[in-house]
Amino acid sequence: MTPLVALRGIDKSFAGIHALSGVSFDVRPGEVHAMVGENGAGKSTLMRVMGGELRPDAGSVEVGGEAVRLTGPTDAIRRGISIIHQEMALAPDLSVAENIFLGELPARIGWGRLNTQAKELIARLGFDISPRATVSDLSVAHQQVVEIAKALSRRARVIVFDEPTAVLSMGDAKRLLEIIRGLRREGVGIVYISHRLDEIYAIADRISVLKDGRNVDTVTPDAVPVDQLIRMMVGRPLSQLFGEKPHTTVGEELLRVENLALPNGVAGVSFSLRRGEVVGLGGLVGSGRTEVARAIFGADPISSGTITLRGENYRPRSPKQAVRHGIALVPEDRKGQGVVLDLAIRKNATMANTGPVTRLGFFSGGKERSVVRGLIDDLRIKLGDMGDPVSSLSGGNQQKVVLAKWFHAGGDVVILDEPTRGVDVGAKTEIYSLIHRMAAEGKAVLVISSEHAELFGLCDRVLVMGEGRLRGELLPPDYSEENLLMLSMTSGAEERARA
Amino acid sequence: MTDNAAGYGQSVTREAAPRRFQFGKLFRQFGTFAIFLILLGLASLQSDAFLTERNIMNILRQHAGTGIMAVGMLYVILTRGIDLSVGSISALGAVVTAVLVQDYPLPVALLMVVGIGAACGAVSGFLVAFLRLPAFVVTLAMMTAARGMALILSNGQPIMLGEPGAALSVFGTAFPLGVPAPALLMFGVFALAFIVLNFSRFGRLVKAIGSNEEAVRLSGISVGWYVMAVYVISGALAAIAGIVVTSRSGVGSASVGDGAELDVIAAVVIGGASLMGGRGGVLNTFLGVLILGIIGNIMNLAGVPGYHQQVYLGVIIVVAVVLQHASHILRRR
C-alpha cells in the first residue's frame, strides 16, 4: 500500500547540532503509527518537518507516493496533513464554527450553513457541541474535538496528534482514543506521539522508536513488550562526562518540603535537601519538576503544604524573599529568564547582589569590575570584554554567567533547572564540576534534568516525578533509565506494586 | 543510516557570519548625533538668523518643558511603558502653581505642585506595576482626568501669577550666565538623569527590566516598585515642566501642554529609544529634544505655515526612526 505521507532520510540541524540524522517515517491509510522516544529524541522536530514548518537539510518528503517540497504549514494542510498541536491553535474568542472554518471562510458567510456543517463534523466525532459556543468557554477536551473537526473540515488524510492526552482527564482520554479509532476506520492515517505507553499499546498498529535524532526501529506492539520498548528508547552507555565526584560529607538538613501542592495540579510533594548533597529531580517534561522549583523560589504561588528552611518555617511570596533566605534558582529558560541578553555580562553577574558593589545606590565601577573579574576567572567564562552584552556569548558561557550571578549572591540552597540544556560538551563538564564544587562548599543542590544520564552521573539520589506527583526516589544501586522511566510513566497502582 | 545523504538543502551554515561593517549598530549609537549635526548644518545654511545667540537661547527656553518631560518619558519607555499623561499633568502643575503661590510661600507651593505630579504618576504607576493594566490605557485615563482637574481648578480661565508669584516670573525670564533659567534647569535634570541611569542601581535595573523583566524578577528584585517609580518620576517632572511654563508666561492655564505628550514621545523616539524597552539613553534623548526644536525653528524662520510644519514633522520622525532601524530593515532583505 502506498503510504499517505513518507519522510525519507530526513536530516535537520540547528546551529550545528543534529536534531535529526537520516530519519525515515511513514503513515499508511487507516493505521495508527505511534512515535516514542525520550525528550529531545527528535519527535517534535520530525513532526514539524511533516507539517511543513521546518524544511529538512536533506532527505525527501513524499505525499501519496510523489516527492514534494512543502513550502509551509498552509501547503501541508492543502496536501491533507494536519497537526493537532500540544498547545492548541484555536482563536479563543471566536465561535466553534468560526474556528473550524477559519482560513476558508467564504467572502459572504452563510451562518446557518456554516453552523450546520460544523455540527455535522462534530457529530461525526460522536460529540454534541454547539457550533455557536465561544471556544474559550469549552473544556480542554471539547477544544481538542474542535481542533480535530477543523482538521476534518480540511479533508485531512493524515492527522498528527502530539501528546494529545497530556492535558486530558482519564475519561476524556478514553473518548479521544475512541475518536481516533473512528478516524482509522474512515481510512485516515494517524501519527500518535505520546509518553503514555499504555495508550500506545492500546491503539497503535506500529510503533517507531526515535533516539538522539535517529531511527532505532519500527515494531508492532504485540511483538515487543513494554520493558523492551523502554530499553530501546534509552539504551545508551553512560558517558564519562561527569568527572570524579568529590567525597563530600552530608551535613544537616537545609530544606524540607512537606506535602507541597500548587494551583496547577502538582500535589503531595515531600522531600528534603541536606548540606553537601546533590539531589536530582527527574521525570518527563510536564511532570511538575519546574513548577516545584519555581514555587520553592517564590516565583509561583503555593496552595498548601509546608516548607522548612534551616529549621524555620518558610513560605516564600516572591523571588526577592527567596534570595534573601539564601535560595538560588538557575531557570530552565536561560534566554527568557536567566539572563538579560542585551545587558552587559558584568551587570548580569552582579544583579542578584548589588550590595557589595554599590554605595548609597550607586555602583562603584572599580569594585564591581574586580568582583566580576574574580568570578570570570573562577568560573572560567570565555568572553571578550565584561562590558559586552551577554548575547555575545555561547550558550555554555551564558549559563556560566547565570551561575556566576548566584555564586556572587551566595545562597546555600541552589536549584538548577536543566543547567546544561543547549550547552556544548566542554562547557557541560565544567558546569558539572561547578555543581560538585557547590556541594563541596556545603550547599544543598537540586538538579532538574531531562537527561537521565546527567542525573545519574551527578546526583547522590534522584527524586522522580510523574504527572504532578512525586512518584519515588532512586538510589545509586537502582540507577537505570528503565527504572526512572518506569517510575515516572506508569500510573499509581503499578508504582505501588513495585515499591 | 549515517550523516547527511546529499539533498537539496545542503548542510546549514555553521560558522557565524563574518563581522561585517555594522552600519546598524553604529547608527544606533551615533545616528541621532548625525541627524543633529546635519540639521544644524542645514539650518545655518538656510538662515543667517539661525546661528545667533538670541535664536539658540530662544529654542532652549521654548523647549525646556518638553526636555524635562522627555527625561521622565525616557525612563518610562525604557521599562517598555508609555506615559500619555505628561501634557495634562503639566497643565495641572501650571494651574496649581498659579493657585498655590497666592497663599503659600513659593518653595512650599512648588514642592506641593511637584508632589501632586508625583501623586498622579504614583496612581498610574501602581495600576501598571501591580495591577498589570496596560500603560497606554492607564495613562490615557490619567491624561483625561488630570486635564479635567486643571480645568476645574482654573474654572477654564488662565490664572495670573500676579504679585505673589513675581519671584517665579523672574525665574522664567532670567538669563543667568547668559542662558535662560528654564534651560539651565533642563540641563540640570538631564545631567541628574544621566548619572542615575548610568551609575545607579535604580537606573541599571530600569533598563534591565525593560529588556527582560522576568530575568530581573528571578534575580530576586521587586520589579513592581521600579516600574511604579518611573511613573512617579515622570509625573513629578511633568509638574515641574508645568511650573516652568507658568514661570515663563506669568499665567497658569489649563491649556498648557495640550498634545505635548506626542512631542515628548517623538523626542525620545528620535533619540533612538526603543518602545520595546531596554534601549535608549539620556544624551540621545537630549539630542532628540534639540532636533525637534531645531526643526520647528528652521521652518519658522523659513516661513513655513504651521499646518505644513506638522506634515513635515511627521515625515521627519518617520525618517529618523527608519534610520534607527536601518539594520533590521536591511537584514530582512
Report pLDDT digits (tens) over B19-66.
445 555 666 667 788 888 888 898 888 888 888 888 999 999 999 999
Tens of pLDDT, residue by residue over B217-246, are: 999 999 999 999 999 999 999 999 999 999
Instruction: Identify the pLDDT of residue A89.
Output: 79
- Segment B139-156 mean pLDDT: 96
What is the pLDDT at residue B302? 86
The vertex-B250 CA angle with B249 and B252, nearest 5°, equals 90
List residues bridging with B331 in a β-sheet.
none
DSSP A73-106: HHHHHHTTEEEE-SS----TTSBHHHHHTTT---
- Min Cα separation B216/chain A (Å): 8
The answer to whether B14 contacts chain A (CB < 8 Å) is yes
The answer to whether B216 contacts A361, with C-beta atoms less than 8 Å apart, is: no
Q: Which amino acid is at A208?
A: S
Q: What is the pLDDT of residue A237?
A: 42
Question: At B145, which helix (H) or strand (E)?
Answer: helix B135-154
Smallest Cβ–Cβ distance between B211 and the set A297, A340, A358 belongs to A340
- In angstroms, the Cα distances linking A495 to A93, A266, B63, B155 are 41, 18, 74, 77
C-alpha grid cell, residue A14: 540547528
- pLDDT of B1 over the 60 cut: no
Contact call for residues A336 and B217 (beta carbons, < 8 A): no
CB–CB contact A16 B12 (8 Å): yes
> How does A100-112 read in b/e, with b if 16+ C-beta sit within 10 Å?
bbeeeeeeeeeee
Q: What is the CATH number of domain A253-498?
A: 3.40.50.300
Q: A412 CB contacts (<8 Å, ≥6 apart)?
A: A254, A275, A326, A442, A443, A444
Q: How many CB atoms lie within 10 A of CB B119?
A: 14
The minimum CA-CA distance between B294 and chain A, rounded to whole Å, is 32
Give the CATH fold of the A5-234 domain: Rossmann fold (3.40.50)
pLDDT in tens, B185-214: 999 999 999 999 999 999 999 999 999 999
B331 pLDDT band (50/70/90 cuts)? low
Q: What is the pLDDT of residue B22?
A: 54
pLDDT (0 to 100) of residue B24: 54
| Sequence spans of domains, chain A | 5-234, 253-498
Residue from the list B8, B211, B217 with its beta carbon closest to the beta carbon of A342: B211
How far is CA A253 from each of CA A242, A273, B300, B301, rounded to the nearest angstrom?
25, 6, 76, 78
pLDDT of the residue at B5: 35
Q: Residue A286 has what pLDDT?
A: 78
Give every residue of chain A whose pLDDT is below 50, as ranges.
236-239, 493-499
What does the pLDDT look like over B257-298, one tens digit per residue?
999 999 999 999 989 888 888 889 999 999 999 999 998 898
Retrieve residue A37's grid coordinates.
Answer: 522516544
Same fold, A5-234 and A253-498: yes
pLDDT of residue A238: 42
Residue A336 to residue B215, Cβ atoms within 8 A? yes
CATH code for B51-332?
A: 1.10.3470
Q: Is B307 exposed, middle or buried (0-12, 13-18, 19+ CB in 10 A)?
A: exposed
Mean pLDDT of the residues in chain B: 87
Taking an 8 Å cut-off on Cβ atoms, the answer to whether B218 and A340 are in contact is: no
Whether residues B218 and A319 touch (CB distance < 8 A) is answered with yes
ipTM for this model = 0.82
Residue B96 — pLDDT band, cuts 50, 70, 90?
very high
Q: Is the pLDDT of residue B151 over 50?
A: yes
- The residue-averaged pLDDT of B160-189 equals 90
What pLDDT does A497 receive?
43
> How many beta carbons lie within 10 A of that of residue B140, not counting itself?
17
